[in-house]
Every structure is written in C-alpha cells, then in structure tokens.
Amino acid sequence: MNFTTGQIADQINGTVIGNRDAVITSISKIEEGSKGSLTFLANPKYTEYIYSTNASAAIVSNDFKPTEKIQITLIKVKDPYSSFTTILELFNKNQSDRKGISDLTVIDKSSKISDSAFIGSFSTVGKNSIIADNCIIENQVFIGDNVKIGEGSMIYPGVKILDDTKIGKNCIIHSSCSIGSDGFGFAPNDDGSYKKIPQTGNVIIGDNVEIGSNSTIDRATLGSTIISNGVKLDNQIQIAHNVEIGENTAIAAQSGIAGSTKIGKNCMIGGQVGIIGHLKIGDNVKIQAQAGVTSDVESNARITGTPAISYMNYNKSYVHFKNLPEIVKKIDKKD
C-alpha cells in the first residue's frame, strides 16, 4: 500500500517541508534511499547523507536546519526515531493483513480459532486451545493443548508452544522459539544418577511481549514462569523454570537466567549475562554485558563483572587490574 508524505505526516503529527503529495512506496536506510522510499535522520552521525540520499522523503527533528541545498522532502517531528517506528508499524500492518487457515494445517475440533486469524501451512493446534482475533500463525508452528494466544499476536515459523501456555495480546514470538518446555529439574540418587522431577506448571506471557529467535522459556515445576507486559527478549535467551520477569524489562542475546529468580520492572540486561537461581533483582537495574550475577541486586543498581559488582567500583578497580604486572615487578624488586 502506498502513502503520500502528507498522509504519513498526519500519522505522526509532523510538518511537511516540501511536497505533501510525494508518493511513498517503501522504507529505506538513509544511505541507501531510492525514489519512492521514506527514510529518517535521528543520529547526527548520518547527517551527511540527508544531502545525497535518493529517498523521496525523510523524517527529521523539529530543530533540524539544513546547511546545504536539499532536494528531499522533510517531515519534521519531535522524535524522529519514535515516529519512524510508528511508520514501520504502519507498513508492516499492511504487509501482514492475512486471514484464513491453510488446508495443510491440522487443528483439533475442540480448539477455537477466530475468523480473523491466519494459520499457515503445516502448523498444528492441539486440544482446547484458543487463538484470538487478528493473530497470525506462520508455517510449521506447533501449538499444544490448552494454549491461549491473545488478540493481534504474531507467531513466526517453527515456533513450539507447548501445553497450557498463555500468551497475551500483541505479542511477537520469532522463529524457532520453544515456549513451555520442561525445566531443568533433577534430583540426585544415592548411586550418582539423577531422577527427573516432573514439571507440572506452565508459562504465562503478558501483553506486548517480544521474544527473539531460538529463545527458550521453560514451564514451571509448580505454578508459572511469568514474562510480564512489555518485556523484550533478544535471540538465544534461556529463561528457566519459575523465573519471573517484571514489566518492560529488556534482555540482550545469549543471556541465561536460572530457576526461580525474580527480575524487577524496567531492567536492562546486556548480552551473555548469567544470573544464578533463586535471586531477587530489583527494579530499574542495569547489568552490563557478560556479567555474572551471584547475589541479590537492589533497585536502581548498575553492575558489571564476574561476580558482578557496582559498575563504578569496577571501573575504579580496573585502573589497578591493568597495572598488576608492573605492580608485581616492583614488589619483586623490593624483595
């Protein structure tokens, strides 16, 4: 679907400087713009491209003032990045407006599928499951028994959603995720072998959650593993049984959270962070990449290292860490 620059500006409360009737057919990076595309300028690092891009229009901040002659139509807004995100959603919505069920899908008769939902080829829906309005279930998705998927959610190819999982509204689950698999629960026997502990709980995912490709969220041993509203998980993340993650927390790729740990609201957790089990992480905590968290963390803390300590203390200590070889040499000379 095509839009004019005027229509786009109306969607984001922008002011058009140039041609309001320019037709936009696609979205592009500013350095790769082509005729008919819309781009944006949010980072000053890319300002030079605003004068050379072949895009038809660009979203810029209200305070942007060209220092050279400019050909491109500008749409001025308060926050270019946020506004461009809104337009991406608009284009994506038009691209994914599908309904119907493929003839190559297997759905148990006891399940309820909204007439406005879409289910692709070679997908399976088990017993007593519910797929709400405007959901999109792509090809080769497995949905088990007693699963509920809320309105407007998008499930990409190859996702496995196992029994009793509850997924809220407007969620996005990317390819090859496993939701509701057994937690890592084993009891040691006297002979050194292990006895499996039955995992009888489920996974509950709130509204507006996004989960990256190849991530795994384990069902609870008892009760629920809980991913609250607005949580954003990157690719290849492991969430163990009975973990709880608070609203609007974001976790970067390859991080792992061990069983029964509770993470607060609005936390930011970097890539390859490891958090041991049964901890309590407060609200608004920032954990730097590759940190190893082995104890509880108070709200508003910023930590790094293994074992993780205060970010500022780590930086002060690092001044001495990097000088240790020279310090040791001096000590040896004194001896």
Residue type for position 244: E
pLDDT at 334 over 80: no
Residue 330 and residue 334: Cα distance in Å, rounded? 6
Cis peptide, bond prior to residue 307, ω within 30 of zero? yes
> Is the pLDDT confidence value at 78 over 80?
yes
* Mean pLDDT score, 225-232: 98
Strand order in the sheet with 124-125: 106-107, 124-125, 142-143, 160-161, 178-181, 216-218, 238-239, 256-257, 274-275, 292-293
9 forms beta bridges with: none
Q: Rounded to whole angstroms, how far apart are CA atoms 90 and 10?
A: 12
Q: Are 56 and 36 in contact (CB under 8 A)?
A: yes
The answer, yes or no, to whether residue 321 has pLDDT greater than 80, is no
First to last CA, the chain: 79
What is the Cα–Cα distance from 58 to 5, expressed in whole angstroms?
9
Q: Tell me: the pLDDT tens digits for 125-170?
A: 999 999 999 999 999 999 999 999 999 999 999 999 999 999 999 9
Among residues 101, 95, 165, 190, the alpha carbon closest in space to that of 137 is found at: 101
Backbone angles phi and psi of 334, in degrees to 5 = -65, -35
Fold of 100-314: UDP N-Acetylglucosamine Acyltransferase; domain 1 (2.160.10)
CB 272 within 8 A of CB 258: no
User: If we measure between CA atoms, which residue out of 237, 243, 245, 174 comes closest to residue 210?
Assistant: 174
Q: Say what the pLDDT of residue 95 is.
A: 53
- Greatest distance between any 2 Cα atoms in the chain: 84
- 278 a catalytic residue: no
CATH 3.40.1390.10 domain residues, the chain:
3-95
Find the helix or strand (DSSP H, E) in which 65 lies.
Answer: none
- Structure confidence at residue 124 as a pLDDT band (50, 70, 90): very high
Which DSSP category does 51 fall into? G
Sequence length of the chain is 335
AA letter at 304 = T
pLDDT tens digit sequence for 234-283? 999 999 999 999 999 999 999 999 999 999 999 999 999 999 999 999 99
Of 174, 241, 278, 320, which is the active-site residue? 241
- Are residues 80 and 62 in contact, defined by beta-carbon separation less than 8 angstroms? no
CA 183 to CA 244: how far, in whole Å?
Answer: 14
Query: What is 162-189 written as a DSSP string?
Result: -TT-EE-TT-EE-TT-EEEEPP--EEE-
pTM for this entry: 0.80
pLDDT of 335 > 80? The answer is no
How far, in Å, CA of 291 to CA of 275, rounded? 8
- Is residue 311 left, alpha or beta, with left meaning phi > 0 and alpha meaning psi from -120 to 50? alpha
pLDDT value for 22? 92
Range(s) within the chain of domains with CATH label 2.160.10.10: 100-314
3-95: in CATH 3.40.1390.10: yes
Query: Residue 266: its pLDDT value, please?
Result: 98
pLDDT at 97 over 80: no
Rounded-to-integer distance, Cα 204 and Cα 248, Å: 15
| Mean per-residue pLDDT, 6-34 | 93
Whether pLDDT at 100 is above 60: yes
Q: What secondary structure does DSSP assign to 222-254, as a single string?
A: SSEEEE-TT-EE-SS-EE-TT-EE-TT-EE-TT
State the average pLDDT over residues 280-304.
Answer: 96
Share of the chain above pLDDT 70, in %: 98
- Interval 165-181: pLDDT, tens: 999 999 999 999 999 99
pLDDT of residue 317: 81
